[in-house]
Chains A and B, each alone.
Chain A
């Protein structure tokens, strides 16, 4: 049995006095019994707000401060080549949850970021990527209400935000007016400004507000990509009311996002058209995704035949392309929503918008509440991503294949199986 080593005095003397209470033994899950020692008084703030922290299963090394040593893979420079990397995770604050990472999806964003492709979000190295993270809770802070050790947990792109602006209050943290903190390659200005490290690693600490519950009905590994690929297409479908009244839905690009979009559209009862440059994808689109129509975008005849047939399009393509090519596919009042971010400006002629009151919109992932709603929806409709599970040592090769779109439809790193023994959780 292991319990936390708790310091009698914290750095910076935030705690005025610390005393100890031994809580009664509690029997949980069979014969496992835990004896927990918790601070009785940490500070007046803790006294008012905190419940008793629950000790957990963490086995790695802990620094005196309570920070935990973590192992992962990091990119060290713009080559994007990833190698093993040891670093510290912050100690659990009262509102934090610490969890052992089991799986982490590989998002196309990871590839852009490790190679420093985006001017707007420059890379800072070493970079531990990964924002499709799932695992099992091992420790919770005293103020945590809805998670306990052993729970299935997920973290997506958002690891913090101001929590106070209009958008945060509406749980649209992705549009936080002050700044949303990305799960990796960012600095958490709301805590201590230290760099954020993602899910290609063994352990993660996250404020409860940004933690998601993975429903029991979902396989953990295939649920991971829902946290970014899934919510990225689910959010605009809901925001733009696409699911109302049997609408015709189109998706451009059949990668990880496109696959998820087709799955959701099917569950929401929409008529699905897949628009792709690859005729080779037609069979899979029609058979496993139940697409009603498949249009090869490089075939002008097919594109012409599909004109004015769609109410909504989600455009997942991150490569440069012209909007005017796709706008004619929309009916009057139709909407095309960008979820990919091409590096170069897009073009569209005013006339193709005017002539049928079409519009071009964008959407960025989704808020926390909405992401939870999506996970629950997935559990109800048995939706999850089709994945290829890989060990973490395969990650560089996976990136090369991802760049060539050689994956169906998402790589998911089996972090738990790849973890060195000293970082593995106690069973």
Chain B
């Protein structure tokens, strides 16, 4: 296997070519794994809402052709000579970040996502050599060992893929803002891929969980299959009023424009509203809501390397995986349309291995 080192890797994937976001087969090469790199066959890749934003150039920074995907799991194929944590045949995962400066305070504190010089993201980003990164909608991936995760044996590979973004996106603020201490009242706004992970983590940590959603139809599933304790329809003024001041923390996963005041009202004094979605418009809030009861609005972006590994281990311990709908690569454009309508329980995961083998 080491003989393969030094050769560029020919890869097959799916790419968007322009802002319509339509994805089609795409062949490209990846650099040969270096001495500290891991090369792996991609087995599964989750479809994150970010992928949809990026292929459609909704954040204005898209470079085409773009191979999306940053919830990637696979099996190690080859490792560089200095790689110590992985061997061929190991289960491996890659999330949002494939590199960072490793020197700044943020990197030193293992918060690589906040790297002062800017982290290199898994796709649509410029790596240290100046080339554009390609993501996991493909058959093969090369990554530095330092940015690869070990996927524990007890986690199903497909259900583990979305943990690498949807999972850590909520796990990180739960830990950072110390939400899990002492049976707190926890709320989550939006019950999509990220929201349902928040429910699972919060329940596993013993919190009292309230789901806040615009869709009354999600109540039954939220309570029965995810174990939420309470369900609030955000459009129901009476329900929202009754729940005023009852929550210690809220994670807001919604990326559509919405006012923060509605949710700030649900918080008790000293409560925190943490945004993990990225609404295109600025959030508006009444300052009195913050001042008069010392409430906080914060943000959080994915998680660092150590924290992500810790989250994976937590998932094994508590039998947590993402609820997924497994699809073939050629279904991806339909999946994107359904995702845009919120029509998925709760994450699409592309079966890359079988899709590319078949083609």
Using a CB–CB cutoff of 8 Å, the interface residues on chain A facing chain B are 120, 167, 172, 175, 177, 239, 308, 322, 324, 332-333, 335, 338-342, 345-364
Q: Does any Cβ of A come within 8 Å of B279's Cβ?
A: yes
Q: B106: which A residues are within 8 A, CB to CB?
A: 332
Q: B275: which A residues are within 8 A, CB to CB?
A: 350, 353-354
Within the complex, what minimum Cβ distance (angstroms) separates B163 from chain A?
Answer: 19
B contact residues, range: 35 or more
User: In the complex, A364→B292 CA distance in Å?
Assistant: 5
Q: Does any Cβ of A come within 8 Å of B297's Cβ?
A: yes
Decide: A360 near B292, CB < 8 A? Known: A345-B287, A348-B283. no
User: In the complex, A345→B287 CA distance in Å?
Assistant: 6
Q: Does any Cβ of A come within 8 Å of B91's Cβ?
A: no
Q: Does any Cβ of A come within 8 Å of B288's Cβ?
A: yes
Within the complex, what minimum Cβ distance (angstroms) separates A122 from chain B?
Answer: 14
B283–A364 CB distance below 8 A: no
Using a CB–CB cutoff of 8 Å, the interface residues on chain B facing chain A are 105-106, 111, 114, 116, 176, 261, 269-270, 272, 275-279, 281-301
Closest 10 A/B residue pairs (Cβ) = A353-B299, A362-B290, A359-B298, A362-B291, A354-B299, A361-B296, A347-B282, A175-B269, A354-B301, A332-B114
A177–B269 CB distance below 8 A: yes
B291–A360 CB distance below 8 A: no
Within the complex, what minimum Cβ distance (angstroms) separates A235 from chain B?
Answer: 9
Secondary structure dominating the interface of B: mixed
List 23 A-B pairs, Cβ < 8 Å: A172-B269, A175-B269, A175-B270, A175-B294, A177-B269, A332-B106, A338-B287, A340-B287, A342-B287, A345-B261, A345-B285, A347-B282, A348-B283, A349-B281, A350-B277, A350-B282, A353-B275, A357-B298, A359-B272, A359-B297, A361-B296, A362-B289, A362-B290
A362–B294 CB distance below 8 A: yes
B301–A355 CB distance below 8 A: yes
Which residue of A is nearest B297, CB measured?
A360
Within the complex, what minimum Cβ distance (angstroms) separates A331 from chain B?
Answer: 8
Contacts A177-B269, A345-B285 known; list 19 others, CB within 8 Å: A167-B269, A175-B270, A239-B294, A333-B114, A338-B290, A345-B261, A345-B286, A345-B287, A351-B299, A353-B299, A354-B278, A354-B299, A354-B301, A355-B301, A357-B114, A357-B176, A357-B300, A358-B299, A361-B294
Decide: A356 near B114, CB < 8 A? Known: A177-B269, A347-B284, A350-B278. yes
Q: B105: which A residues are within 8 A, CB to CB?
A: 332
Within the complex, what minimum Cβ distance (angstroms) separates A361 from chain B?
Answer: 4
Within the complex, what minimum Cβ distance (angstroms) separates B115 from chain A?
Answer: 9
Within the complex, what minimum Cβ distance (angstroms) separates B289 from chain A?
Answer: 8
Q: B293: which A residues are within 8 A, CB to CB?
A: 175, 362, 364
Within the complex, what minimum Cβ distance (angstroms) separates A319 from chain B?
Answer: 11
User: In the complex, A239→B270 CA distance in Å?
Assistant: 10
Q: B297: which A residues are within 8 A, CB to CB?
A: 348, 353, 359-361
A359–B299 CB distance below 8 A: yes
User: In the complex, A177→B293 CA distance in Å?
Assistant: 10
Which residue of B is nearest A332, CB measured?
B114
A361–B290 CB distance below 8 A: yes
Q: B299: which A residues are within 8 A, CB to CB?
A: 350-355, 357-359
User: In the complex, A302→B299 CA distance in Å?
Assistant: 26
Q: B291: which A residues are within 8 A, CB to CB?
A: 338-341, 362-364
Q: B277: which A residues are within 8 A, CB to CB?
A: 350
B296–A348 CB distance below 8 A: no
Which residue of A is nearest B113, CB measured?
A357
User: In the complex, A406→B258 CA distance in Å?
Assistant: 40
Within the complex, what minimum Cβ distance (angstroms) separates B295 from chain A?
Answer: 6
User: In the complex, A333→B290 CA distance in Å?
Assistant: 18
Which residue of B is nearest A180, CB measured?
B292
Within the complex, what minimum Cβ distance (angstroms) separates A408 from chain B?
Answer: 25
